[in-house]
Structure 1
């Protein structure tokens, strides 16, 4: 993700400088394909080469230079999730990388409490239902990964998480009534940070633009940086970055939150469901 962000910024700055890739590599004396491969995320780039490019593009904002040089240094770091290559598919590891870099995460969930808000027992029941042939060791490792992701929400600069849940997600009993009660209580507990906004889309809202399924929408801190849409399937996942896809899902999310219960009314509904499970 850091390489992705850096490549996008370097491409944008070069374009704004009115310079082609051919002109840039000629001025720097680089091999013809080097810059193209950097901008297409096929290879990384050193901090020293980032400085050379920014000098060439006449970037004189010291803060911007420092941020991009630091991004180049950090792009070589491996995330904690990369050690789970035997357990997690590439798409999931990419999603976690996107998640850790995002400043705003928006999600609509049709039938499940999202992974970032799941309790351990709820997560275990969901994972076991989706992967019934996995060993207990693999299931436990996947639960461990899901809980490790949640630490993101407790960080000093935590991303804003905005969740719209279909009412089915809070009414469908997962695991057992006791597990579901604990999960619902977790949704409305007071948090140390105010980074989580939760709304429920009631059955009474009728038809809506996301009836085809759940999605995650990620935005990043750099003002000119494109976001990403993540859609999970049973066997794989789809990551989309095209502007039209981001617009479609962004508009859909806005319509969903407009039709959903307010955060206050959402808490009241969840409290009533908790009381019903006693």
Structure 2
């Protein structure tokens, strides 16, 4: 069979499906039931329940209704959860790019699209949400020298489209901490960097964007191993999510916990340590 040259990857579940999965697990535990108990009382396959509660599969409406009835969920709350199921099949603008994107990156984009606020630390690059197109293109080409033009174009398009969260009527609140190394590293030549620095200054002037530099003088700190992103959501049912990407290229997307807040605060405090004056950008 002739190869199409396209690497088909598993699609990441939508935020609504993850939200539904987490709520079903909480409801089951709240009802004092083990998965084995649910199997006996509903005849739903054990592996199906396991996959539903981890957002690995989308339940059918009748399956969800059976579970909600078993857990004693009131009608009004059932209606909300059934609506989550309906919405869980909706994808954002990035759906067309999904066959080309790693699952963890898909998940980041999906949650980013829904987030009310985002905190990010970058040790090596300007954060993706604040990159110019020219900088993004030069950066991707530099990091992946063998990339073909079609894949390069797709990656640049995705990165630019991600920035739409900062232009919507109620924009995402962005707090970006950037290591001084990312600001001083010349990516794509002087013209590209000058444009990128102007873009950062303009972005920092917007009321919903907070941009700060962690100086060289800060020394070693918890953010040095790589990227760190925390996303928070308006809905009370959505716990914060954390995306980390190490220098070794290991991306991880997971629920947030108290230790992540401590890590962010430690990085944030580092920016107050004295350093030589910044000559290429002031924010």
Instruction: Please give the TM-score of this superposition, normalised by the length of structure 2.
Output: 0.80
Give the Cα separation in 2 of the matches to 1:230 and 1:10.
Answer: 24
Q: Which has the higher helix share?
A: 1
Give the Cα separation in 2 of the matches to 1:86 and 1:28.
Answer: 36
1:84–1:226: structure 2 CA closer, same or farther, 3 Å change rule? same
Give the Cα separation in 1 of the matches to 2:173 and 2:29.
Answer: 31
Bigger mean CA deviation after superposition, 72-81 or 129-138: 72-81
Structure 1: where are the runs of 5+ without partners? Answer: 263-268
What CA deviation, in whole Å up to 9, does each residue of 1:210-255 have, x standing for no partner? 2222222233444454443323357854214366xx4333211111
- Counterpart of 1:59 in structure 2 is 73
Shift of 1:4: 1.8
1:123–1:137: structure 2 CA closer, same or farther, 3 Å change rule? same
Which one of the candidate residues 28, 31, 38 is aligned to 1:17?
31
What CA deviation, in whole Å up to 9, does each residue of 1:75-98 have, x standing for no partner? 223343232245323332232123
- Counterpart of 1:232 in structure 2 is 245
Bigger mean CA deviation after superposition, 42-51 or 67-76: 42-51
Bigger mean CA deviation after superposition, 15-24 or 226-235: 226-235
Q: How does 1:56-205 map to 2 (within 5 A)?
A: 56-60=70-74, 62=76, 64-85=77-98, 87-189=100-202, 194-205=207-218
Give the Cα separation in 2 of the matches to 1:194 and 1:66.
Answer: 37
Bigger mean CA deviation after superposition, 20-29 or 97-106: 20-29
Give the Cα separation in 2 of the matches to 1:124 and 1:153.
Answer: 20
- Counterpart of 1:273 in structure 2 is 280
- Counterpart of 2:20 in structure 1 is 6
Shift of 1:145: 1.0
Give the Cα separation in 1 of the matches to 2:66 and 2:172.
Answer: 32
Structure 2: where are the runs of 5+ without partners? Answer: 1-13
What CA deviation, in whole Å up to 9, does each residue of 1:163-187 have, x standing for no partner? 1111121122221222112111212
Bigger mean CA deviation after superposition, 190-199 or 166-175: 190-199
- Counterpart of 1:266 in structure 2 is none
Give the Cα separation in 1 of the matches to 2:204 and 2:63.
Answer: 43
- Aligned partner of residue 214 in structure 1, secondary structure: strand
Aligned length, in residue pairs: 265
Give the Cα separation in 2 of the matches to 1:47 and 1:156.
Answer: 33
Asked whether the 8 Å contact 1:104–1:161 carries over to 2, the reply is yes
Tell me how large the CA RMSD over aligned residues is. 3.0
1:242–1:80: structure 2 CA closer, same or farther, 3 Å change rule? closer
Give the Cα separation in 2 of the matches to 1:259 and 1:3.
Answer: 37
What CA deviation, in whole Å up to 9, does each residue of 1:103-131 have, x standing for no partner? 33221111211111100111011011011
Asked whether 1:38 is paired with 2:52, we answer: yes
- Aligned partner of residue 188 in structure 1, secondary structure: helix
1:128–1:234: structure 2 CA closer, same or farther, 3 Å change rule? farther
Give the Cα separation in 2 of the matches to 1:236 and 1:74.
Answer: 32
